Every structure is written in structure tokens, then in C-alpha cells.
Amino acid sequence: MADGLGALYPPEVAEVAAARLVDAAAEAFAERPADLARLDQVRTLRPDWFQSSGMVGYATYADRFAGDLAGVAAHIDHLRDLGVTYLHLLPLLATRPGDSDGGYAVADHRSVRPDLGTMDDLRDLARALRAAGISLVLDLVVNHVAREHPWAEAARAGDAHHRAFFLTFPDRTGPDAYEATLPEVFPDFAPGNFTWDDDLQAWVWTTFNAFQWDLDWANPEVLVAFAGIVFFLVNAGAEVLRLDALPFVWKRLGTDCQNQPEVHAVAAVLRALLRIVAPAVVLKAEAIVGPGELVRYLGAGRWSGRECDLAYHNTLMVQVWSTLASRDARLATQALRALPPKPAATAWATYVRGHDDIGWAVDDADAAAVGLDGFAHRAFLSDWYAGRFPGSPATGLVFQENPATGDRRISGTTASLAGAERAGDPGAQALVVGRILVAHAVVFGWGGIPVIWMGDEVAMVNDPGWADDPAHAGDNRWVHRPRMDWDLVARRDDDPVAGPVFRGLRHLARVRASLPQLHASVEAAVLDVAEPGVLAVRRAHPLGPLLGVYNFTESARSVPVPIPGGAGTDVLAGEVVSAEGVALAPYQARWIVAPT
Ligand code: OTU
């Protein structure tokens, strides 16, 4: 902790902050409920719990999934049926009224959104989930608060102490200097990074929406305040905290104000505090950044083993969609190989889709290495998933088109991006099932925690009424945040897409749990294969390797695969396969084990 504080503040300031944080930690430790303290002991003896191949994640909004927190508890059986052990409920703390960016504009860190329930309901839900073997994951929105948050209200009322929680500027000099090198996150509905506030008579830093005020983490008061919130949430039963927009928390003139060295120190301080108060709890970085920066969030250099325990594998997600569109795994092979190995005690959160848009984080150098132009490939991916490229079956929407950079991100559910809305006949439907399952097989077979996005387990398509709610109308990410279709869940076995997808995901989860090779401490290595349409991933293990072989094309393939001993067992299909030629049906995934 002292190291982290020393990297953030001058020595005298760091020393005072350390003393206050230790006091707050001691108090939170004393208040930790007995059942959670017991979990701390159990996990201190098994610190790799989140790396186990038995982990399967699920992410959803509580209200969209089941109305409210009590409704979520009533659907634990559905989650267990899928094999889920980790449940990320998107922001559920009290928000500003109206548009709250899906809850990411927090107005009160110590109460639950009234329509979802109370803090006691949250504690009850956490307990019920834990009893079912499911860890509750909550967001910690570290970069900003709502303009209506008490800190911002106090600042607007003239309180200097709270004004210093934010980054304010009396005129455009400061903002203009920063803007020279700042990108825009939401160029469509929130252009620029600063918003004039009449109450403050100042420009305030607002990276995301105008109603989300960035916090100034260079002020130690912000860190101390957040430590209190962390203790409150983990003592309420959260077992994983997702650090939302972590890359943005430290600003530096002349840079893009993302991924600054200090953001790693901020995470390291929070982790050190958690190890004291609640060692059962781990931290997950939400850093949707390019491949070059990504692994650093799992702790590199001086922060190795001391930063986040989990991070989203954004590169893998992007490459899965890129490979599905191009039917060519060579860029994925290149990009995934270029990624440095992660520390052995950490894990990826792997995913096919989530609540956000997909941004095409394809590195120009990786593209060039396989003979592609990065810009042109990103444009192709946007065209493909918006259904504008000849032959594309996808029905995604373009999110945040940026004319200045040519950047176009994509919204849409997994099923819609895989062509479900345009699949009129059994043949086309089988291809949709194939695309959805091969994508999930890669993610389940990579190592780490595979996280299913709500509705994907029954291949829900885009919500046609996404814009009906005026607070959502400007943000088409709501197209892939539908209300859970429980009718479809109930009748899934009569549906040609939902049934096979649900059974396929459940099968992946069960097989995965039996494979020690999928413990996250083991590194995944992408192999060269003779077929460009096939991705092959090897996970070495003392019990023998696991070879994941994935056909990303619509036709059958046969590829030689280096299976030790010349033959192995595909544990997904329960078949013996030969190293000389592994036969793959369209979009087939095989997980091959071979004894050494
Ligand atoms: C996150 O996403 C959340 O996932 C979004 O739902 C929020 O709108 C946003 O923060 C603001 O709270 O830019 O397009 O590198 O990519 O934080 C989504 C991290 C985002 C950013 C990420 C952000």
C-alpha cells in the first residue's frame, strides 16, 4: 500500500493518507460479518478459487433479468442449470434520475436503486447466491460520479473541499490544452471532454456523458472516500469488484489521459486494502484498451502480483468476432500471440458479448503482419456487423460513428450479430447456432472466467423496442440489453436456435469444469495450423495438453494437429481423433486431450 501511495502523492501526503486508510481498514475488518470473515479464511487457504476451471460467469442488469433483486434470487436455479458460479449485476446503486448511462452515473454509493430493492435485499441476495455457490460481482465506478451525487452537489453549493474532488477550470485554457490530445469516448451524444457548469461557473471534466463528473484521483481525499465505499460493498457481500473505466482515472497533459502509470498504483492500493479487510474479494479491471496496454492491468513490473486479479480479455473478444466475419484466423493468431503472458496468479474474464458496444481494437502492426490494412479491416468489421457488407447476415447497429477518425463501433446481441434475424431456414439456423457456439467454445476453452451475457444462452435477438424508453433513446447499446425472455427459456427445446445454444453452453460449462488444463494459471498458446479458417489453441499441463481446435468457416475442414502420441480424445464430442487430420464440421469446436 505504501508503494502505491508513494507513486501517487508526495511523501508527506502519502504518509497521512496511509494512516487514515489503515484506521478505516481496521474498522471495516472489525465490522466484517462472520460468514464473510469465514469466507476470507477459506479463500486465504485457496487463493486460486477464481482461477478454477469450474468457474462460469453471467452478466446482467438485475431489472432486465428479473425485475428486482428478489427476482434475481428467484432465478438462481436458471443460473445453476447453466453452471454459473459468478454473477455480475450491472450497476445497482442509486443513480441520477433519467438517463444514468445504465447505472454508471452513481448518485449514492450507499443505497440501492429503489426500484431494485434495499441494501438489506442486496445483502440477502449476496447470501443466497453464495449458498448456491455463486459469487456476486458489483461495479465500482471509479472514474466519475453523477452530477447529482452529494459530492458534486456540495461542490455546486460552493464547498471547496468537495469542489477539489473534481477537475474544474475557470476558462477554456485548461480544457483546450488537454483536448489537443484527448480522444472522445462518446462523440455522438457527448462530444468533447469538458462541460460548462453554471453553478460552478467553471468547466468540469466529463470524459463520458456531461452528467458524469470525472473525479480527481490526484486528491487523496478521493482515494480515502473510495476506500470507505469499497469496504461498505464488500461487507455487504460483493466478492468481486469491477473497476469501471479504470484506465481513465489519472490525467496528464499532452497524453490521451488513459493508461497512465498512476492508474496501476490506484488499483494496487485498493487491492492491498482488500487483502487486509476482505481477502476473499478480488478486483477486476475494466480496461477496454488495445492489446499493448491490456496485460498491464493484471500487474506488470513493480505491480506484478499486486494489481487486479481479473481483467476483461478484450483482445480475444474482438478477435473472435473478426475471425467469424473474415473466416480467417490468421489475424487472431497474430494478435493473441503478440500479447505478453499474464501473471500466473491472475485470470482473464473472457466473453463473447457484454452490455457495451464492440470497439474494433485491432492493432495496426498486427494487421500489417498478416498483410491487412488495420483501418480497412476495422471498416470491414463495422460494415459486416452492420449488415452492410455483401453476404453478411448480421443485423447490428453502428454506435458512435466518429467522422474525425472513421471509427464505428457496433451494438447488437450475439445472436443478431451471428445472423439469427435473417436465418429463415433450418440450414441458416444451424449456421447461426454454429457461430454462437464456436465463439463461446473459444471463450470457455481459453482459461479464466468465461462470462455469458444475459440472453445469449437462449440466443435472444436485438430488442426492437430499445428506443421506447426516452432515457435510452439516444444510446443504441440498449438494443442488446433486452428484458430476459423467460417464455423463450421455458420453451427453448422447441426452438431451433435457442435449444441447441442453451444445451451447447451448458455442455461447455460441464466439460470445462472437468478439465484441469483450463485452470487459469496455465497460459494459452495459439498454434500455427495449415488451414487459415481454423484456430488452434494449446494449453500445456502436467497431465497432458488440451488442444482447442475451432473451425470458423461454414464448410467442413480437416487439419493436422500436433497431438502427442498421434491421437487424442475430443472431450466435447466424446470421440477419438487422429493428429494426422482432425475432421471438423462447419463451425465445430473440439477440445482434445492427450495423455503424455
Ligand atoms: C464503461 O465502458 C461501461 O462499461 C459503460 O457501460 C459506461 O458507459 C462507461 O464505462 C462509463 O461509466 O468506453 O464504451 O477502457 O472502454 O470504461 C464503453 C474502458 C466505455 C472503457 C469503458 C467504457
User: pLDDT for 233-279, tens place per residue?
Assistant: 999 999 999 999 999 999 999 999 999 999 999 999 999 999 999 99
Three-state DSSP at 457 gives: helix
User: What pLDDT, on the 0 to 100 scale, is given for residue 405?
Assistant: 87
Residues 537, 457 share a domain: no
Across 290-316, average pLDDT:
94
Evaluate: CB of 357 within 6 angstroms of ligand 1: yes
Residue 23 is assigned to a structural domain of this protein? yes
Write the burial class of residue 367 (CB in 10 Å: 0-12 exposed, 13-18 middle, 19+ buried): buried
Mean pLDDT of the chain, nearest integer: 97
User: What pLDDT, on the 0 to 100 scale, is given for residue 528?
Assistant: 95
Beta-bridge partners for 581: 578
Contact, 324 vs 446, CB < 8 A? no
CATH number, domain containing residue 577: 2.60.40.1180
Evaluate: CB of 380 within 6 angstroms of ligand 1: no
Name the pLDDT band for 220 (thresholds 50, 70, 90).
Answer: very high
Cα angle at 464 between 460 and 490, to 5 degrees?
35
User: What pLDDT, on the 0 to 100 scale, is given for residue 495?
Assistant: 98
Mutate to test the pocket of ligand 1, among 142, 260, 356 (most ligand atoms within 8 A of CB): 356
User: What pLDDT, on the 0 to 100 scale, is given for residue 479?
Assistant: 98
Residue 341 is assigned to a structural domain of this protein? no
Mutate to test the pocket of ligand 1, among 61, 95, 182, 286 (most ligand atoms within 8 A of CB): 286
Residues recognised as catalytic: 244, 286
* Among the listed residues 547, 57, 1, 29, the one whose alpha carbon sits nearest the alpha carbon of residue 310: 57
Give the residue whose CA is nearest to atom 17 of ligand 1.
245
CA of 207 to the centre of ligand 1 (A): 10
Residue type, 467: A
The ligand 1 atom at the shortest distance from the C-alpha of residue 359 is 14
Provide the grid cell at 244: 469501471
CA of 187 to the centre of ligand 1 (A): 13
Domain boundary among 488, 512, 536: 512
User: What pLDDT, on the 0 to 100 scale, is given for residue 176?
Assistant: 98
In the predicted model, is pLDDT for residue 424 greater than 80? yes
Residue 378 is assigned to a structural domain of this protein? yes
Provide the grid cell at 44: 486465504
In the predicted model, is pLDDT for residue 290 greater than 90? no
CB atoms within 10 A of CB 115: 11
User: What pLDDT, on the 0 to 100 scale, is given for residue 291?
Assistant: 80
DSSP per-residue letters across 372-409: --HHHHHHHHHHHHTT-STT-----EEEEEETTTTEEE
In the predicted model, is pLDDT for residue 204 greater than 90? yes
Residue type, 340: P
SS3 letters across 153-193: HHHHCCCHHHHCCECEECCCHHHHHHHCCCCCCCCCCCCCC
The ligand 1 atom at the shortest distance from the C-alpha of residue 104 is 12
User: pLDDT for 112-140, tens place per residue?
Assistant: 999 999 999 999 999 999 999 999 999 99
Residues 6+ apart with CB under 8 A from 204: 166, 167, 168, 169, 194, 195, 196, 197, 213, 214
CATH number, domain containing residue 494: 3.20.20.80
Residues 431, 322 share a domain: yes
The ligand 1 atom at the shortest distance from the C-alpha of residue 185 is 13
Residue 165 is assigned to a structural domain of this protein? yes
Domain boundary among 213, 233, 253: 213
* Among the listed residues 531, 526, 536, 524, the one whose alpha carbon sits nearest the alpha carbon of residue 570: 536
Residues 137, 36 share a domain: yes
Q: Count how many domains the chain has.
A: 4
Cα 572 off chain centre by: 26
User: pLDDT for 6-56, tens place per residue?
Assistant: 999 999 999 999 999 999 999 999 999 999 999 999 999 999 999 999 999
Q: Is the dihedral of CA 235, 454, 311, 546 positive or negative?
A: positive
Residues 283, 136 share a domain: yes
Residues 566, 454 share a domain: no
Residues 544, 402 share a domain: no
In the predicted model, is pLDDT for residue 97 greater than 90? yes
3-state helix, strand, coil in the chain (%, to 5): 40, 20, 40
Structural domain span for residue 474: 316-333+357-512
Residue 352 is assigned to a structural domain of this protein? no
Domain boundary among 483, 512, 541: 512
pTM over 0.95: yes
Name the pLDDT band for 595 (thresholds 50, 70, 90).
Answer: confident
Residues 90, 38 share a domain: yes
CA of 117 to the centre of ligand 1 (A): 25
Residue 547 — φ and ψ, nearest 5°? Answer: -115, 115
Residues 22, 112 share a domain: yes
CATH number, domain containing residue 194: 3.90.400.10
Mutate to test the pocket of ligand 1, among 140, 208, 213, 407 (most ligand atoms within 8 A of CB): 208
Q: Is the dihedral of CA 296, 298, 299, 301 positive or negative?
A: negative
Q: Which residue's C-alpha cell is 422447441?
A: 494
Residues 286, 234 share a domain: yes
In the predicted model, is pLDDT for residue 596 greater than 80? no
Provide the grid cell at 519: 485452470
User: What pLDDT, on the 0 to 100 scale, is given for residue 203?
Assistant: 98
Residue 109 is assigned to a structural domain of this protein? yes
Residues 249, 185 share a domain: no
Residues 166, 57 share a domain: no
Provide the grid cell at 160: 471547496
Residues 208, 219 share a domain: no
Residue 37 is assigned to a structural domain of this protein? yes
Give the residue whose CA is nearest to atom 23 of ligand 1.
245
User: Does residue 223 or residue 292 have the better pLDDT?
Assistant: 223
Residue 113's region, left for phi above 0, alpha for psi from -120 to 50, else beta, is: beta
Residue 262 is assigned to a structural domain of this protein? yes
In the predicted model, is pLDDT for residue 404 greater than 90? no
Provide the grid cell at 34: 462472520
